[in-house]
Amino acid sequence: MGFKYHRTIRFQDTDAAGVVYFANILAICHEAYEASLATSGINLKEFFGKSDIAVPIVHASVDFFKPLFCGDEVVIELVSQQLSDYSFEVGYQVFLGDMIMAKALTRHVCIDGGSRKKRVLSGELLGWFNN
């Protein structure tokens, strides 16, 4: 599944040097992830709220190639990939124009909301991979 998310870098995203703070790029990528879920028809309030499943991030990484500044208009392209019956990863590329500014990756595991044990990915997540 491929998805593009448009975002303006805001002052609150930057650090004292005026560039995007390293942890905030993951927050911006997570915005793109949430937007992709919503676009595929997943109800975010239910998915992240009172669902019987949870999909916590168990690994995250970011590589920066060039700095991003307040006012930059970026496009985050994300691609999700199922890794197993109970896990998936999302790869992100952050573009400014045609230049890749950063790459990120999040790995998620599907667990039962009560027992916190691994469980098979839900039908709605499987549908999300195919959108």
pLDDT, one tens digit per residue, over 49-102 is 877 889 999 999 999 999 999 999 999 999 999 999 999 999 999 999 999 999
Active-site annotation, residues: 15
Handedness of CA 126, 127, 128, 131 (dihedral sign): positive
- Per-residue confidence (pLDDT) for residue 113, from 0 to 100: 84
> What are the sequence ranges of the domains in the chain?
2-129
Put simply, whether the predicted model's pTM sits higher than 0.85 gets the answer yes
How many whole angstroms separate alpha carbon 81 and alpha carbon 107? 10
- Per the prediction, the chain carries an average pLDDT of 94
Joined tokens for residue 115: 């027992």
CATH topology of domain 2-129: Thiol Ester Dehydrase; Chain A (3.10.129)
CA distances from 104 to 8, 13, 79, 127 (A): 18, 16, 11, 23
